[in-house]
């Protein structure tokens, strides 16, 4: 089951639990707008012309401006982007921040383009969509293949048409109004979410054994913070390889190695491990922090973790969900667990609108407050509807969006 089918399935289950009207259910599922083909033609450094296709899916704006990343990737798959835009709608509602969901990007390989070519491409794309994004309409952010510099180019190009507008994107460099603490936000949010879950089970991070699949921004920050809190990380992996150490990996040394060597491969503080087997390593807590769909019916029965924290988007497919549930594994779903990034993006947007910069301590304290409150809200929905954490999160998010939709008057005539 692909990401869109799984997301639609979870939405419909949540809608059924909430008893939503069928017309309202259909309205919530259909994207607000899909910008499917935006041709971006640029001169390359060698003087030839190249054309790339950009797109943007704007899913819902009932609770506020739409929010979601822009990715640069050669094989951008429309259904996946549609699913991620929808997930952002439910995710922002679970976090209780005033946004809806969006997602988009350009079909290109950023590794094959020079910095000047990437800048030209970004500026042309912005020229094509500047009337469809905005500080109170749709606020993009970085995603796969993009980063703070990409957001800086979008901000600059957008400002040529609309005046200086730092709040039009988040994830910017701090020199242009980016928030302190944004780089660590998703990983830090994962750790706050993990603490909330463990506390609910009478446990703490200290002394627990962790496996982290994926050691990019999210996985590496989660590892750093878990290590600082006394957690024992016994295995990690990235695109270059995987390692394990039953006594616990020296995370500060690993971070230095990755910085110098651009990957885990070659680190001598543990034994080499087949990356395909990392998910079934013995541990208390498994954190998938890379690709979607990596936990499936082929490996679910072999997973030994008692808790799974979904730092990645859609890492567990529905069949694996059922298998793991029968085994008693507790899964903390992605639309809550990895919402720290968009929450601090919201803080950045607020700071830009106010023209007032928060210090990093305030950012981190506010993030913990939001993550802790969201977990309590999810648990209340679990109790109300006698469901697991995934359905608790989905019913929470869908219910908040449905209530906003009806309250704004979108539902007039649905009863007929």
Q: Say if residue 139's pLDDT is above 80.
A: yes
The residues spanned by each domain of the chain are 31-168+396-416, 184-337
Q: Say if residue 149's pLDDT is above 90.
A: yes
The average pLDDT across 230-259 equals 95
The average pLDDT across 124-134 equals 95
Residue predicted with more confidence, 78 or 260: 260
Distance CA 171, CA 169 (A): 7
The average pLDDT across 48-72 equals 94
Q: Say if residue 412's pLDDT is above 50.
A: no
Cβ burial, residue 368 (10 Å; 0-12/13-18/19+): middle
Distance CA 320, CA 220 (A): 25
Q: At 230, is the secondary structure helix, strand, or coil?
A: coil
Distance CA 363, CA 357 (A): 10
Best CA proximity match to 329, nearest among 311, 301, 306: 306
**Phi, psi dihedrals of residue 11, rounded to the nearest 5°:** -60, -45
Cβ burial, residue 97 (10 Å; 0-12/13-18/19+): buried
Q: Which residues are catalytic?
A: 103
The average pLDDT across 33-54 equals 91
Inter-residue contact 332 to 371 (CB < 8 Å): no
The domain made up of 31-168+396-416 is a member of CATH 3.20.20.110: no
Round to the nearest angstrom and report the end-to-end CA distance of the chain: 35
Distance CA 9, CA 407 (A): 25
Beta bridge partners of 176: none
Whole-number pLDDT of residue 373:
98
- Mean pLDDT, the chain, integer: 94
As given in the structure block, the two tokens for residue 374 are 């969201």
Inter-residue contact 92 to 101 (CB < 8 Å): yes
Whole-number pLDDT of residue 321:
93
Q: Which helix (H) or strand (E) holds 209?
A: strand 209-213
Q: At 51, is the secondary structure helix, strand, or coil?
A: strand
Q: Say if residue 414's pLDDT is above 70.
A: no
Whole-number pLDDT of residue 1:
67
Distance CA 399, CA 406 (A): 11
The average pLDDT across 234-241 equals 94
Q: Percent of the chain beyond pLDDT 70?
A: 98
Best CA proximity match to 309, nearest among 278, 342, 331: 331
E strands of 118-193, at which residues? Answer: 138-142
Question: Residue for token digits 């943007």?
Answer: 56
**Phi, psi dihedrals of residue 95, rounded to the nearest 5°:** -70, -15
Inter-residue contact 281 to 273 (CB < 8 Å): yes
Whole-number pLDDT of residue 36:
74
How confident is residue 133, by pLDDT bands cut at 50, 70 and 90? Answer: very high
Q: Percent of the chain beyond pLDDT 90?
A: 86
Let me know if the fold of 31-168+396-416 is the same as that of 184-337: yes
Distance CA 382, CA 39 (A): 45
Beta bridge partners of 244: 235, 271
**pTM flag (> 0.85):** yes
Whole-number pLDDT of residue 292:
82
Residue ranges of the alpha helices (H) in 328-359? 334-337, 340-354
CATH assignment of 184-337, given 1.10.10.10, 3.40.50.720, 3.30.70.3280, 3.20.20.140?
3.40.50.720
Q: Say if residue 77's pLDDT is above 80.
A: no
The three-point CA angle 270-272-278 to 5° equals: 100
Q: Say if residue 12's pLDDT is above 50.
A: yes
How confident is residue 79, by pLDDT bands cut at 50, 70 and 90? Answer: confident
The rounded Cα 86 to chain-centroid distance in angstroms is: 12
Inter-residue contact 182 to 344 (CB < 8 Å): yes
The average pLDDT across 243-261 equals 95
**Phi, psi dihedrals of residue 334, rounded to the nearest 5°:** -60, -40
Query: Which of 60-64, 191-195, 263-267, 289-293 shows the lowest mean pLDDT across its residues?
Result: 289-293
How confident is residue 416, by pLDDT bands cut at 50, 70 and 90? Answer: very low
């Amino acid at each position: 089951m692909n990401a869109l089918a799984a997301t639609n399935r979870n939405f419909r289950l949540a809608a059924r639990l909430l008893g939503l009207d069928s017309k309202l259910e259909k309205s919530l599922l259909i994207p607000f707008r899909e910008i499917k083909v935006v041709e971006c033609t640029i001169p390359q450094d060698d003087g030839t012309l190249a054309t790339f296709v950009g797109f943007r899916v704007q899913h819902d704006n009932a609770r506020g401006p739409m929010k979601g990343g822009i990715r640069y990737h050669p094989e951008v798959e429309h259904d996946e982007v549609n699913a991620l835009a929808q997930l952002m709608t439910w995710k922002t509602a679970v976090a209780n921040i005033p946004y809806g969901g969006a997602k988009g990007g350009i079909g290109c390989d950023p590794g094959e383009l020079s910095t000047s070519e990437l800048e030209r491409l970004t500026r042309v794309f912005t020229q094509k969509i500047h009337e469809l994004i905005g500080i109170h309409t749709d606020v993009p952010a970085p995603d796969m293949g993009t980063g703070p510099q990409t957001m800086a180019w979008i901000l600059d190009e957008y400002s040529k048409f609309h005046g200086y507008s730092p709040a039009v994107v988040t994830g910017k460099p701090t020199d242009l109004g980016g928030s302190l603490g944004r780089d660590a936000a998703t990983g830090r949010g994962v750790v706050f979410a993990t603490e909330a879950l463990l506390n609910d089970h009478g446990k703490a991070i200290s002394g627990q054994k962790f496996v982290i699949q994926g050691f990019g921004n999210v996985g590496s920050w989660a590892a750093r913070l878990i290590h600082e809190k006394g957690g024992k990380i016994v295995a990690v992996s990235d695109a270059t390889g995987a390692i394990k150490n039953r006594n616990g990996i020296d995370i500060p040394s690993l971070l230095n190695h990755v910085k110098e060597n651009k990957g885990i491969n070659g680190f001598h503080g543990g034994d080499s491990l087949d990356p395909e087997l990392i998910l079934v390593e013995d541990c208390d807590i498994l954190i998938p922090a890379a690709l979607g769909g990596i936990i499936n019916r082929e490996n679910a029965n072999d997973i030994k973790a008692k808790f799974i924290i979904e730092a990645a988007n859609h890492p567990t497919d529905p069949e694996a969900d059922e298998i793991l549930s029968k085994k008693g594994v507790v899964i903390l779903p992605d639309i809550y667990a990895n919402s720290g990034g968009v929450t601090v993006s919201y803080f950045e947007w607020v700071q830009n609108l106010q023209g007032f910069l928060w210090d990093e301590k305030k950012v981190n304290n506010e993030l913990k407050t939001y993550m802790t409150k969201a977990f309590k809200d999810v648990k209340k929905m679990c109790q109300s509807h006698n469901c697991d954490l995934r359905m608790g999160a989905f019913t929470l998010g869908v219910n908040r969006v449905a209530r906003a939709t009806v309250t704004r008057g979108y539902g007039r005539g649905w009863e007929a």
